[in-house]
Amino acid sequence: MKDIYAKIRGYLFTLKCRLMRRNIVIGSRLQLYCRLEIKGVGKVFIGNDCIVSKIIGDSRHYVTIYTHDPSATVSIGNNARLFAARISSKFAIQAGDNLLIEESGIMDTDFHSLSSDRKDPMENRNQCRVVIGNRVSIGARSVICKGVTVGDDVIVWPGSIINKSVPSGVAVCGNPVRLVK
């Protein structure tokens, strides 16, 4: 019963995006188990067969995708599973197929400079873009920072903060990241 309701809700959401918001492109067969909040005027692409849900037992979490710039792009591949994920982008976030995110965030900007006046930071698009490969799964309460490329088949343990690039086919944990032996 819940699955049918989620499919209907996803279909209605895709229809609404097609009619009202042209900057959002969502593939077919989206399943919405909780609220999906997309803010901003940047472009958002989501592939086919995606599942958007909250974690059982956490009532207040939902999935957010924010774009802070008109030139920002967020693209998520097919068959992604987003459980209470938080994505906020100013430049570009690109994720492959079979992505699994569980109560954790991805951001590609610092939102302000590190000096004391807190003005706009001098950030490049090439410096700050986040690229995530295929079949990546990210555990709970972890953060992916700006300017990081994550390879294919990576498992990110819960509670890790990824501030440098990760090769493909490994499991990483900790702050700063290190390989799990």
- What are the residue numbers of the active site? 112
Give me the DSSP letters along 92-135: EEEE-SS-EEES-EEES--SS-SSTT-------HHHH-EEE-SS
Cβ atoms of 86 and 106 within 8 Å: the answer is yes
Give me 152's structure tokens. 């294919």
Residue 94 or 98 having the CB closest to another protein: 98
Residue 30 or 128 having the CB closest to another protein: 30
Cβ atoms of 105 and 139 within 8 Å: the answer is no
Residue 11 or 157 having the CB closest to another protein: 157
Residue 87 or 172 having the CB closest to another protein: 172
Cβ atoms of 89 and 68 within 8 Å: the answer is yes
Residue 70 or 167 having the CB closest to another protein: 167
- Count CB neighbours of 19 within 10 A: 8
Of 81, 89, 74, give the one whose Cα is nearest residue 54: 81
Site for another protein, rule CB under 8 A: 53, 55-60, 81, 83, 98, 100, 102, 135, 137, 139-141, 153, 155, 157-161, 169, 171, 173-175, 180
Residue 160: exposure state from Cβ atoms within 10 A (0-12, 13-18, ≥19): buried
Q: How far is the CB of 176 from another protein (least distance, A)?
A: 9
Q: How far is the CB of 128 from another protein (least distance, A)?
A: 24
Of 97, 90, 112, 93, give the one whose Cα is nearest residue 40: 90
